[in-house]
Amino acid sequence: MNAEFQAAPLLMPRILIVEDDPEISRLVAQFLRDKDYHVAAVADGKAMSAVMATQAIDIVLLDLMLPEVSGLDLCKQIRATGNARIIMVTALASLSDRVAGLDAGADDYVSKPFALPELEARIRAVSRRGQDGKENSTDVAGVRFGGWRFEAERRVLYSPRGVRITLTAAEADLLLAFQKHAHQVLSRPQLIELTRGKSEGVSDRAIDLLVSRLRRKLALGGRQLEIIQTVRSDGYVFNPQD
């Protein structure tokens, strides 16, 4: 498999495929190159780390079942060390497996077997969310609410006590949506639209999981009162104390 990026238009994202099935890797890589993406492919976590140590990667297509180190562990590793968007690719169809991938920090997932146009649609969706964050960064960098400071572009949150909390891309998107619609009840479909655009296959359960993850991180900052409140049957409301 090819770990070298081939020429493509400069504005196209750089995609790293981490897949141990050579045929799937070859087909996906060729399809994306035909669509003018920058693409490289590796077969395991060690090779992935080597590429990411020397290349700026925008999106990782990460197989869940890999030799030696699992996709879940690699997902956590990427989240701890970089800002690449992660699309988890899994042959495991159960909800618990998909939830595990999202809980590890994946931005989206696609199940095998998948249609290549669907995969590209998900790539476009996560890429748009990254671009939207950059375009709005001058408006949201250093936003303050209830004693917190939120730097959306860096995906960093500082608690009133000065605790630094690193957010995943999906968590930052969610907090940004909440911050822009503070004190408004947002339904799960509205949150899907605000954070994931018109991506298909995003479930209410995925939003509930994302809210739960963000709540846990807010709790790490020593917040005694719940900022994100559940509105029974309706959704969630973001109520920071100003």
Asked whether the beta carbons of 153 and 130 are under 8 A apart, the reply is no
Asked whether the beta carbons of 117 and 32 are under 8 A apart, the reply is no
pLDDT of residue 150: 87
pLDDT tens column, 110-167: 888 889 999 999 898 888 765 544 444 434 446 787 778 888 777 788 887 777 888 8
Does CATH number 3.40.50.300 belong to domain 138-238? no
Helix (H, G, I), strand (E, B) or coil at 88: strand
Find, among 101, 179, 91, 197, the residue nearest to 140 by Cα.
179
Strands 228-231 and 185-186: unpaired
pLDDT of residue 135: 41
pLDDT of residue 5: 59
pLDDT of residue 3: 64
Long-range CB pairs of 78-81 (<8 Å, 24+ gap) are 78/52, 78/105, 79/104, 79/105, 79/168, 80/166, 81/52
CA distances from 97 to 30, 68, 69, 91 (A): 28, 18, 16, 10
- Could you say which residues of the chain have pLDDT below 70? 1-11, 93-94, 129-142, 197-202, 221-225, 241-242
Asked whether the beta carbons of 39 and 29 are under 8 A apart, the reply is yes
- Judge if pTM exceeds 0.75: no
CA distance 33 to 82: 24
Give me the phi and psi of 51, to 5 degrees please: -70, -45
* CATH class given for the domain over 14-135: alpha beta
Take residue 136 and report the two structure tokens written for it. 């709005």
Q: How many CA atoms lie within 13 A of 227 on its CB side?
A: 25
- Contacting residues for 94 by C-beta, under 8 A, at least 6 apart: none
Q: Indicate the domain borders of the chain.
A: 14-135, 138-238
Q: Which helix (H) or strand (E) holds 143?
A: strand 143-145
pLDDT of residue 133: 45
